[in-house]
Structure 1
Amino acid sequence: MTARAHSVGILVFDGMKMLDLSGPAEVFAEANRFGARYRLGVVSPDGAPVRSSIGLLVPAEADARSAGPPDTLVVVGGDALPGSPVDPRLIDAAKALAARAGRVASVCTGAFVLGAAGLLEGRRATTHWQHTTALARRCPSTRVEPDAIFVKDGATYTSAGVTAGIDLALALLEEDHGPDLARRVARSLVVYLQRAGGQSQFSASLRGPAPRTPVLRQVQDAVQADPAADHSLAALAARVRVSPRHLTRMFRAELDVTPVKYVELIRFDIAKALLDSGHNATEAAALSGFPSYESLRRAFARHLGLSPTRYRQRFATTVPDAGPRPDGG
């Protein structure tokens, strides 16, 4: 007896990111070459074709109301979603499809559609690192995980930016058919089955918004001006003429972090920028204020799940790296 095909409905709309559609779709289509049975269908709110982010017209097979119940619903993202209210027609389409779906997933900013449809209430979720704060504001009952590549909460899945939709699709494939088939598809597509580190490795900064309080801005300016100087709690408090205890309270109240941790985050950002500009890891450690390469390596492991050397290899150039240099670069 032949197993029933697993239907994957992909909800699209004008301005959608093309890779949010094509990335996961290629994973499921490639799986079919190895014996899986996925049936892909593109759905728009009204059944009309939509214009993608790159200008290509994407035809839809059905509208959200008349489409068959998907075993898996995938909601793609779009650049306008974090900054604008979600179109009510798109919200209604997501609700209608999700009510009939076995599981619901979003790619990148598609999480804003799920959030607007009430599908993330009380759940854990993620989205592109640039927009996790906006998602948390828009969905206050949702626990947003900014570093996750993808998050599963029950039958609801959300993923980080753009290519993370491929990671999510591989995870769904592994749930359906096991790790062997998922591994074969990953190898065929020349992607990792599970990439090292979270999405923070791609972000521009870990510090978040600049502090509003003048005293805290003084601390930030002092560390950025001379990251290798003494920025212990006692030294910082003396510099801004408050007690160490009061300074700690101020940091916790506004930024929810200790002064020592904040100094590390600034130094970490500086080290990342130095690696990006071509410095080796030992130089980056010294110039950014870390006492040793080992302390920088531990910070990278905490924040990114990568060593400074691996980070530099991944982001410094598109030329394949010949291996670590003896100086720690």
Structure 2
Amino acid sequence: MHDVAFIVYPGFELLDVSGPASVFNGANRALRQRGKSDFYKVGLASARGGGVESSSGVALETRPIADLRSAEARTVLVVGAEREHLLPAVADPALRAALPHLAGTAERFGSVCTGGFVLAALGLLDGCRVATHWDSCQPFAETFPRVTVDPDALYVIDGRLWTSAGVTTGIDMALAMIARDLDASIAGEVAKRLVLYARRPGYQSQFSPVLKAQVKGGSPFADLIGWMQSNLDASLDVPSLAVRAGLTERTFHRRFVAATGQTPARFVETARLDAARMLLSRGLSLKSVAAQVGLFPPARLAEAFERRFGIAPRLFRDMHPEL
């Protein structure tokens, strides 16, 4: 059995536990259907044990973290919460006493969402690259300058350290753990049974270009951006987009930058390259991908892709097959 210990505290985010826990349970179910024994055993620990209430009011029964032996915690994950609940957790003497040893002896350790703040406060993330909730990336980086925060990744694997971004990305990280521990097909079965749209790879951004643009400033170009996403193979230069928006080129450029924080050209390239990553992970040829995302011929796609991501698209496709 592979024991997974979730570390919780008053006010924790319930989905940070229930999402990944359901994934691990799903893996056991898939194994049983194949005539095999359960692999995962999920447990919860807190500073003093007993019932611990989440931010949603639902309480979970836990054991004292001091009673959690190293052999019973092969994977240790600290769950997240809002700032007002994180601060008491960071200062809790029982957590501060137990977590360094557990993290040091576990096969892997990490956090879901903002749980990384607790680990970072103990110096356990110094020199590491991590993911956290998009709204916490800047304060995390400012508070812990020795930690490198990846603001885009859904989850980050840095040696034994696994960290995920906001809330539901804990599910994506748990699926990746299953694929590594057991079999990619098991992870696929779990994702399908949980009716997930897709297994999202860690490199995928927390926000698509569309959502980023919609969040920033109310986005007066929401309809146009939606059309752009559906027509990446069309001519998306400033003159064409300005006509579609009913504005002069100069006015369109100025208002688009104000609304999205990016020039139209940069935004279009980002949208095309994000789409290219997803299509490449499905095993499509460079020629097909280049045509679909509007970066044809393939040499144009390869140049833009390598400039942005530092890796050739062919190699990326080989390294990130969709499972």
After TM superposition, the structure 1 stretch with the greater mean CA deviation from structure 2, 271-280 or 117-126, is 271-280
Residue matched to 2:2: 6
Q: After TM superposition, list the pairs within 5 Å mapping 1:117-136 onto structure 2.
A: 117-136=122-141
CA–CA separation in structure 1 for the residues paired with 2:27 and 2:147: 32
Could you tell me whether the CA contact under 8 Å between 1:285 and 1:296 is conserved in 2? no
* SS across alignment from 2:208: helix
* SS across alignment from 2:99: helix
Residue 268 to residue 185, structure 1, CA distance change in 2 (3 Å): closer
Give the share of equivalent positions with the same residue, in percent.
34
> Residue 201 in 1 paired to residue 208 in 2?
yes
Aligned partner (choices 80, 92, 101) of residue 106 of structure 2: 101
- Scaled by the length of structure 2, the TM-score of the pair is 0.66
CA–CA separation in structure 2 for the residues paired with 1:82 and 1:118: 20
- Scaled by the length of structure 1, the TM-score of the pair is 0.65
Residue matched to 1:68: 69
Shift of 1:15: 0.5
Residue matched to 2:172: 167
> Residue 298 in 1 paired to residue 281 in 2?
no
> Residue 79 in 1 paired to residue 82 in 2?
yes
Residue matched to 1:323: none
Could you tell me whether the CA contact under 8 Å between 1:82 and 1:134 is conserved in 2? no
* SS across alignment from 2:207: helix
Deviations 1:42-100 (A, max 9, x none): 1111113211010111110x211111320101110001269746223333342243233
More helix by share: 2
Q: Who wins on radius of gyration, i.e. which is larger? A: 1
Residue 157 to residue 64, structure 1, CA distance change in 2 (3 Å): same
Residue 64 to residue 200, structure 1, CA distance change in 2 (3 Å): same
Q: Which amino acid aligns with 1:63?
A: P
Residue matched to 1:155: 160
Q: After TM superposition, list the pairs within 5 Å mapping 1:13-32 onto structure 2.
A: 13-32=9-28
> Residue 45 in 1 paired to residue 16 in 2?
no
Could you tell me whether the CA contact under 8 Å between 2:12 and 2:85 is conserved in 1? no
Residue 295 to residue 115, structure 1, CA distance change in 2 (3 Å): closer
Deviations 1:154-178 (A, max 9, x none): 1001100000000010111111012
What is the root-mean-square deviation of aligned Cα atoms in Å?
3.5
* SS across alignment from 2:170: helix
